[in-house]
Amino acid sequence: MNDPLSKRATATEIAGAVMSGKAKALAVVDAALARIKAAEPTFNAFTDIVAERARIRAVEIDRGLHRGPMLGVPFAVKNLFDIKGLPTLAGSKINQDGPIAARDGSLVRKLEAAGAILVGGLNMGEYAYDFTGENAHYGPSRNPRDPSRMTGGSSGGSGAAVAAGEVPIALGSDTNGSIRVPASLCGLFGLKPTYGRLSRAGTYPFVDAFDHLGPLARSVDDLALSFDAMQGWDPDDPVCTDRPAEPTLPALLEGINGLRIAIAGDYFERGAQPEALEAVATVAKALGATRKITIPEAAAARSAAYVITAIEGGQLHLPRLKSRPQDFDPDTRERFMAGALLPGAWYVKAQRFRRRYRANVQKLFGEVDIILAPATPCTAPNLGQVMMTLGGAELPVRANLGLFTQPISFIGLPVVVAPLQRPGGLPIGVQIIANHYNEAAALRVARALEKQGVASAPPA
Amino acid sequence: MAEDKPDVGRLVDEAAKALGLPIADQYRANVIVNYERSLAIARPLLEVDLDDELTPAPVFRP
């Protein structure tokens, strides 16, 4: 049991301490704010800190005005979430002039309804079109495992804030890998739920077809705790499922007996550096998984995800590309412009292909419950690095950090990233992929790895 | 038969005109680089054959 005021404390530990009266919410929040103040000059995770609001909420909790399973837990959100009273930056300079949020985003309200306390907004790649965590306007978020390295993105501040121990939980968004890539590069647990499982209301969009929200944390319990608090239908997000919420926290006690676990071969073994494949092998061995399966047409799936992203993103930002091109981050501007010009025929073909791919992958889930794959093809690149070598080829870092995440979010499958710390080296994550709406199975597997000490996410 | 490669510079210029998107000279070269990159990344999708019956789902349900 960690001291609830320390940077090692998990959300579960903090909530337990506050609920039992062993710690005051105000003391927890003040300790988090002090850590943020000390850490920010190095990691640049936050763009906004809402200290006064957080303290007011903490005092209310200490007076017994709020209850819930996340009582007193400080958390922060990628700055594409609406925070009442602030412009929703989405990593951009342009949105500084945008509307001031009239209320918090849906998931922020749900976490606060569960007793958690928002402490701030987090840095991110501009408009989420990013796998690096770099940002020309606000500076890069820096990887707490090695501040000369990328956090990964686009939820880079979310990765940095949790890995540095500033907060135990942060929310991010994941369109093509933007939770899973920073979880892998910063050595954290991350959950990208099923498409439509969590409401996206009150967040700035990127690619409606693939936009997901979810938590990054340092323990599997914390992923499940926050996921359970955020589930539920929301009329404000037309994609949000009306299936009843299914709590995952009780399922963690079930272990992995009965789960059929396989390793993704073929596409997911190519173009990865040895440490990515070693991480999958280590996890497979720990789980006793030997079966290898092929996800058919994964390369075309990645290609289709890229096309839909480029075209939806380019179309979304077209008015601003016309009126304020000089105010974009140079690393997103010309990609958005090119995306806006791509043929519509590609988009329709990608959507038609998606239907077939989804049907074929669902057939696989008749034979297995879990598929393991690398989260990133490599450990954290250096800040500013443009090219990297993968499978003998020189490839752009930006387009390729999501090589293994894109074919999965393309059809909205739930994924937990389990981080492997590598003594003397940088961490790397493994994707634990389950069938739609079966987040519980992926969390159970992550929990088994955590229990065995194979996966872990101590603060840096 | 040698593949007919599109003139991406011209393609970008004309598509941008059709869309009413002015692309300043200082951005143009990198837009072309990104368009060419997109052509390469899109290739595996473009090579896939789809049955005519395979329509996009009007509402995507995972």
ipTM of the complex: 0.94
Q: What is the pLDDT of residue A221?
A: 98
- Answer whether A304 touches B (CB < 8 Å): yes
Distance from CA of B31 to the nearest CA of A (A): 5
CA-to-CA distance for A26 and A6, rounded, in angstroms? 14
Q: What is the pLDDT of residue B5?
A: 86
Tell me the β-bridge partners of A122.
Answer: A46, A78
Cα angle value A131/A140/A156 (rounded, 5°):
45
pTM for this predicted structure = 0.98
State mean pLDDT over A43-52.
98
Q: Tens of pLDDT along A311-329? A: 999 999 999 999 999 999 9
Contacts of A322 in chain B (CB under 8 A): 20-22
**A393 against A72, higher pLDDT:** A72
In our burial notation (b when 16+ CB lie closer than 10 A, e otherwise), range B1-21 reads: eeeeeeebeebbbebbeebeb
> From the candidates A78, A155, A219, A409, which is the catalytic residue?
A78
Instruction: Decide if A154 is catalytic.
Output: yes
The two three-digit tokens of residue A234, written as one number: 């929301």
- Answer whether B43 touches A (CB < 8 Å): yes
Residue A201 has a CB neighbour count (10 Å cut-off) of 18
Distance from CA of B39 to the nearest CA of A (A): 9
- Answer whether A314 touches B (CB < 8 Å): no
CA-to-CA distance for A55 and B39, rounded, in angstroms? 52
Which of B19, B30, B45 lies nearest to residue A304, judging by beta carbons?
B45
Contacts of A354 in chain B (CB under 8 A): 56-57, 60
For strand A212-217 and strand A169-174, is the pairing parallel, antiparallel, or unpaired?
antiparallel
- Answer whether A395 touches B (CB < 8 Å): no
Task: Work out the mean pLDDT of chain A and round it to a whole number.
Answer: 97
The two three-digit tokens of residue A272, written as one number: 């990865």
How far from the centroid of its chain's Cα atoms is residue A418's Cα? Answer: 12
The answer on pLDDT for A228 being more than 50 is yes
Length of chain A: 460
Q: What is the pLDDT of residue B3?
A: 65
Q: What is the pLDDT of residue B59?
A: 66
Q: What is the pLDDT of residue B62?
A: 75
State mean pLDDT over A446-454.
98
Which of A321, A356, A399 lies nearest to residue B21, judging by beta carbons?
A321
Under a CB-based contact definition with an 8 Å cutoff, are residues A427 and A234 in contact? no
Write down all domains in chain A, each with its CATH number in brackets. Answer: 11-451 (3.90.1300.10)
Which of B20, B32, B41 lies nearest to residue A306, judging by beta carbons?
B41
> Could you tell me the pLDDT band of residue A351, with boundaries at 50, 70 and 90?
very high
What is the three-class DSSP state of A410? coil
- Give just the sign of the alpha carbon dihedral A273, A276, A281, A282: positive
State mean pLDDT over A406-434.
98
Q: What is the pLDDT of residue B58?
A: 64
Q: CA of B60: which chain A residue's CA is closest?
A: A209
State mean pLDDT over A181-199.
98
Under a CB-based contact definition with an 8 Å cutoff, are residues A138 and A125 in contact? no
Cα angle value A31/A35/A38 (rounded, 5°):
140
Q: Residue A341 is inside which H or E element, if any?
A: helix A330-341
Q: Please, what are the averages of pLDDT over each run of 10 residues along chain B (62 residues)? A: 80 98 98 96 97 82 74
For helices A298-323 and A330-341, angle between their N-to-C axes, nearest 10 degrees: 110
Under a CB-based contact definition with an 8 Å cutoff, are residues A163 and A187 in contact? yes
Which of A194, A303, A352 lies nearest to residue B55, judging by beta carbons?
A352
- Answer whether A352 touches B (CB < 8 Å): yes
pLDDT above 70 as % of chain B: 89
- Answer whether A120 touches B (CB < 8 Å): no
> From the candidates A141, A178, A199, A409, which is the catalytic residue?
A178
Contacts of A267 in chain B (CB under 8 A): none
State mean pLDDT over A41-68.
98
The answer on pLDDT for A361 being more than 50 is yes
The answer on pLDDT for A260 being more than 50 is yes
